[in-house]
Structure 1
């Protein structure tokens, strides 16, 4: 990996739904990602890197194709879509929120346009779940011509076998799976 590209941190779904106990999508293993996510976020802010908070948000009460596969979830204004404490966006120019209605942070959002306008060529993708939203985001980032990096410690799934298979696929086909330390060095 070339350390000179302009790099952005893309945090995916670091929201109450996954990280707060008793929420629908919470699973105990998710807590293991919090130290790595916090470290990535602190490093990105300290180095003035672009930080994108990609969060799933659906329109309240309206039809949504995704609801054919999953029950209604992550509707705007509900508690489960709020940022998990400590991961709220900072009041700084280089930190933004991208709402998404599908698994990928790129599909039907302006994320690719934003990244290109900021001369970003590499994205560090972290958050949940490895085999769903992380994979979809990584695949679309790769398809869009971005170098993709996924820090192993900063993602997981309630289906560990699928998370491992996904990380293997990402390393083989879409990008690089690295340690937290290696990812932070790229910011």
Structure 2
């Protein structure tokens, strides 16, 4: 049986809470599907990776010329959205990133290899930025990639769709929610 991990990308107040600095109207649509994935992973004992984007207050950050200061560590926006983040459930970890990909300059690949993981199921925000970068690096590290269509979106729907097409063509699979829950079983 292929060992599978769930990777939930940036399920934080910044994107999902109406008062978040990066909130967009479609963002809350990923909450229920991501919670279903989380429940499936908990039920099966699959590894759960909660990825959070966090930056240091008052320090230069390479992303800043492209993006405004965001998700400052310790602030409301950097906190996990209700229902997400480590909650003392078995088999869950947190990965803090400062770039788009959950793999870049973190120990995520090493950790997953150590656990015998071969396949990842990915949900979160935003499809065309952090989800896609994470999927690309998962593929580059040798993992079978599955991005869950209902569990990802963006404030740029056309870029979200283009990213999903690229994932399907070059990186892995775009799967529906039921298929993803089956992969986590």
Taking structure 2 as the reference length, the TM-score comes to 0.97
| TM superposition outliers: structure 1 runs of 4+ over 3 Å | none
**Higher mean C-alpha displacement, 29-38 vs 8-17:** 29-38
Structure 2 gaps, min length 5: none
1:162, distance to aligned residue in structure 2 (A): 0.3
Tell me the matched-pair count.
184
Q: Aligned match of 1:67 in 43, 64, 67? A: 64
User: Which residue of structure 1 lines up, in the alignment, with residue 34 of structure 2?
Assistant: 37
Taking structure 1 as the reference length, the TM-score comes to 0.96
User: Which residue of structure 1 lines up, in the alignment, with residue 129 of structure 2?
Assistant: 132
Q: Match of 1:80, SS? A: coil
Contact 2:34 2:123 in 1 (8 A): yes
Structure 1 gaps, min length 5: none
Contact 2:71 2:78 in 1 (8 A): yes
Question: How big is the alpha-carbon RMSD for the aligned residues of Structure 1 and Structure 2?
Answer: 0.8
Structure with greater proportional helix content: 1
1:47 aligns with 2:44: yes
Q: Deviation per CA, 1:92-127, whole angstroms, max 9, x where unpaired?
A: 341010000000000000000000000001010110
Q: Aligned match of 2:75 in 78, 96, 100? A: 78
User: Which residue of structure 2 lines up, in the alignment, with residue 97 of structure 1?
Assistant: 94
CA distance in 1, matches of 2:28, 2:72: 23
